A and B are shown apart, each in its own frame.
Chain A
Amino acid sequence: MKNNIKALYFDVFGTVTDWRSSVISECQKTTERLNIELDWGEFVDKWRLDGYIDALIKISSGLMEIQPIEVIHMKKLHQLLDEYGITGLMPEEINHMNLAWNRLRIWDDVSDGLNLLKKKFMILPFSNGDLRCLVEISKYNNLPWDGIISADFFKKIKPDVTVYQDAADLLHMNPEEILMVAAHAKDLEAARKAGMKTAYVIRPLEFGPCAVPEEKPEPFDYEVDSFIELASVLNQSSNEQ
């Protein structure tokens, strides 16, 4: 495919980071001394889907003001601790558990893939996560970003189509010079509507081993299994020009 891509914008949660297994193991570590038996996968899925994602949907539809990610996570965490009857955690342990989302591990291919991609392109995360969260995740994993773009800079959230245009304007680029890289069709569909190129990364384990893969109504410009594969596909397509 012919392209004039200059920059790659990356979704972070699920695309760069394996949030589910990271938060599960953080929760297990924090509660180890309490000897609790519970399905932490279910706990973390509720935290993510009924807590964070649900809040994003409410923000998108104007039912809720934009709030810092920690505040959204903390509210749901307290509800879940009640729901599962987990008592005996100190406030600083709860706080540490809440910030597990700032200590997410990355998928195995990410570090090598980003270093390959960085040679040829600008690489930046473009996420709904706030700057603090994105910086801490990046520092924790030593990610070589050329800059960080949080949708929070614009007081909007993805997949609002206009925020993709804002993010392109920020680097003085045309949307078609940007490749949005994500593991979620909704994110890429909005990016495409804004004029960006799109790369779908298949992350079958994002929602755990039992999850059903999401539907992709339309094909995207690229579809890859890893960032390393993305680097090699982009290399090939630029050599063909």
Chain B
Amino acid sequence: MSQIKALAFDVGGSVFDWKSSVIRGIESLTQARGVAIDSEAFAMGWRLRKFQTLMQVKQGAVSRMNADQILRYTLDGLLGDFPSLNLSDEEKDQLMTVWHKMPVWNEFPEALEKLKSRYTVFVLTILSMAIVVDCSKFNGITWDAIISCEFLNHYKQDPGAYIKGAELLGLKPEEVLMVAVHPSDIEAAQRAGMKAAFVEPKTSEPDVPGLSFPPKYDQYDYCAQTFMDLADQLCK
């Protein structure tokens, strides 16, 4: 096995807890106006619509958008399912900020520091650069680099996203370990030549046809219960 020099991290759902952030944001709005909705269903619906729109973007059916634009675009459709909300444009803008304040899992900052002492640790994400920079600052974590698919011209899980991401850092794909809680992401990375590490997810994701399937533990280079577990395995 060739030597791993760098770790590429998926962040949405893997590192950043999108769901609790969306739930907190929507509940602060619903409580203020005294309406009740199923906040978890709202969060799951938004996330699902994001993936669906992203697929349409990849197929060229809708024009190219970054993650913020996709999330704003899908919000209007989502609100159709929750007519009792009746949000103003200002409230919609306010709600959008939940994507820039997603918390990280408690154990993550320490694991990141440990991994950075040995490897180049970077983000490889579909999310916008602004989302990742803002959320990282919000949580007080520092990456070696942040690579957003918005400036790669390839979105994960196209092989080009992984290959170009590695290339930007002067690395061959096989020198990079892709880390995620989503089997589809790390398996796409493997097909592009990267190594794969699976970490157990801490929250459920919406079911997206083609993207949601159970992990194939025996096919990955590393499997870990937590990020600290992964750091311990990688920094022996």
Q: Is the CB of B151 within 8 A of A138?
A: no
Q: Chain A, 135-159, contact with B by CB distance < 8 Å: what is the 0/1 string? A: 1001100001111100001100000
Kindly state whether residue A130 has any CB partner on chain B within 8 Å.
yes
Kindly state whether residue A132 has any CB partner on chain B within 8 Å.
yes
Kindly state whether residue B132 has any CB partner on chain A within 8 Å.
yes
Top 7 closest pairs, chain A to chain B, by CB: A132-B170, A147-B133, A153-B151, A172-B130, A131-B168, A135-B145, A171-B130
Q: Is the CB of B151 within 8 A of A154?
A: yes
Q: Measured between C-beta atoms, what is the minimum distance from A127 to chain B in Å?
A: 13
Q: Is the CB of B133 within 8 A of A139?
A: no
Q: Please list the residues of chain B having a beta carbon within 8 angstroms of any beta carbon in chain A.
A: 68, 120, 122, 128-130, 132-133, 136-137, 142-147, 151, 168-170
Q: Is the CB of A135 within 8 A of B120?
A: yes
Which A residues, 2 to 34, have Cβ-Cβ distances below 8 Å to chain B?
Answer: none
Contact with A131, one of B68, B132, B143, B169 (Cβ below 8 angstroms)? B169
Q: Is the CB of B170 within 8 A of A172?
A: no
User: Once bound together, how far apart are the Cα atoms of A21 and B133, in whole Å?
Assistant: 33
Q: Please list the residues of chain A having a beta carbon within 8 angstroms of any beta carbon in chain B.
A: 70, 122, 124, 130-132, 134-135, 138-139, 144-148, 153-154, 170-172
Question: Which residues of chain B have C-beta atoms less than 8 A from A145's C-beta?
Answer: 142
Contact with B169, one of A70, A135, A154, A171 (Cβ below 8 angstroms)? A135
User: Once bound together, how far apart are the Cα atoms of A132 and B143, in whole Å?
Assistant: 14
Q: Considering the complex, give the chain B residue whose CB is closest to the CB of A102.
A: B170
User: Once bound together, how far apart are the Cα atoms of A144 and B140, in whole Å?
Assistant: 11
Question: Which residues of chain B have C-beta atoms less than 8 A from A170's C-beta?
Answer: 129-130, 151
Q: Considering the complex, give the chain A residue whose CB is closest to the CB of B143.
A: A147
User: Once bound together, how far apart are the Cα atoms of A233 and B130, in whole Å?
Assistant: 27
Q: Is the CB of A146 within 8 A of B137?
A: yes
Q: Is the CB of B136 within 8 A of A139?
A: no
Q: List 7 A-B contacts (CB under 8 A).
A: A130-B168, A131-B169, A134-B145, A135-B169, A170-B129, A170-B151, A171-B130
- Given A171-B133, A172-B68, A138 contacting B168 (CB threshold 8 A): no
Given contacts A146-B136, A170-B151, 20 further A-B contacts (CB under 8 A): A122-B133, A131-B147, A131-B168, A134-B145, A135-B144, A135-B145, A139-B144, A146-B133, A146-B142, A147-B129, A147-B132, A147-B133, A147-B143, A147-B146, A148-B145, A170-B130, A171-B129, A171-B133, A172-B128, A172-B130
User: Once bound together, how far apart are the Cα atoms of A70 and B168, in whole Å?
Assistant: 12
Q: Measured between C-beta atoms, what is the minimum distance from A123 to chain B in Å?
A: 10
Question: Which residues of chain A have C-beta atoms less than 8 A from B170's C-beta?
Answer: 70, 132
User: Once bound together, how far apart are the Cα atoms of A131 and B146, in whole Å?
Assistant: 10
Question: Which residues of chain B have C-beta atoms less than 8 A from A135's C-beta?
Answer: 120, 122, 144-145, 169
Question: Which residues of chain B have C-beta atoms less than 8 A from A122's C-beta?
Answer: 133, 137
User: Once bound together, how far apart are the Cα atoms of A130 and B164, in whole Å?
Assistant: 13
Question: Which residues of chain A have C-beta atoms less than 8 A from B143's C-beta?
Answer: 147
Q: Is the CB of A144 within 8 A of B142?
A: yes
Q: Considering the complex, give the chain B residue whose CB is closest to the CB of A155.
A: B151
Question: Which residues of chain A have C-beta atoms less than 8 A from B130's C-beta?
Answer: 170-172
Q: Measured between C-beta atoms, what is the minimum distance from B174 to chain A in Å?
A: 17
Q: Is the CB of A138 within 8 A of B132?
A: no
Q: Considering the complex, give the chain A residue whose CB is closest to the CB of B141.
A: A146
Question: Which residues of chain A have C-beta atoms less than 8 A from B129's C-beta?
Answer: 147, 170-171
Contact with B146, one of A130, A132, A144, A148 (Cβ below 8 angstroms)? A148
Q: Measured between C-beta atoms, what is the minimum distance from A16 to chain B in Å?
A: 16
Question: Which residues of chain A have C-beta atoms less than 8 A from B122's C-beta?
Answer: 135
Question: Which residues of chain B have C-beta atoms less than 8 A from A171's C-beta?
Answer: 129-130, 133
User: Once bound together, how far apart are the Cα atoms of A132 and B146, in whole Å?
Assistant: 12
